[in-house]
A = this chain, B = another copy of it.
């Protein structure tokens, strides 16, 4: 079962040898949101086929990218989680994700699944952590038929599926195309808010903080990226700090 390799001593080629096979990076994405059980992963990745998922997990575990762990009683279920190099890998995927928002993500196709966690993961990773000191807030996003929330706690940002259990400081309601159109440069937030395709609910003060944190401008963010001749957008009318 000699693994297929590109046979090149090149960092990118070796990386693809390691994690370039089908489904592998989506497993990483899923685990980036937190530990998950085998069946959670099966649910989250329709079409994967159970034995292929098992193979991938075993491989990633052998390479110390993920770790298999049995939760302490009473939960006692086994979960997979990112580990060591895996956490760094998740971060390395961010620019690729940003690229995808702008170049691979057109309108949503009817057959495509969507979960609010996906954009929230990226948004959470893109938030400038130095902006979050002293901020403690929960933001809920209702996008199309999916709900997720971001939890900002004093320097840490985490993305979660579902409603915020203890209520949210700001609730964002939108349809996917409008929502992903913002970072993609297709949606002008101010316009979208004006015609109701994008709604922010919450106290004015909370909304102001929220708007300050959101990484609306992807252009000058990840590692570098001298922007293309992109059309200049205006952020939603939020007072400067």
Contact = CB atoms under 8 A, between A and B. Distances in A.
A198 interface: no
A225 B103 contact: no
A29 interface: yes
A15 interface: yes
Interface string A42-73: 00011100000000000000000100000000
A38 interface: no
Nearest to A13: B26
Interface in A17-58: 17-20, 22, 25-26, 29, 45-47
A78 interface: no
Interface stretch (A91-99, A132-140, A186-194, A200-208): A91-99
Nearest to A112: B9
Interface residues of A, number: 59
Contact of A105 (B9, B19, B47): B9
A177 to B, nearest CB: 9
Contacts of A14: 100, 104-105
A113 B29 contact: no
Given A84-B228, A99-B88, A25 B12 contact: yes
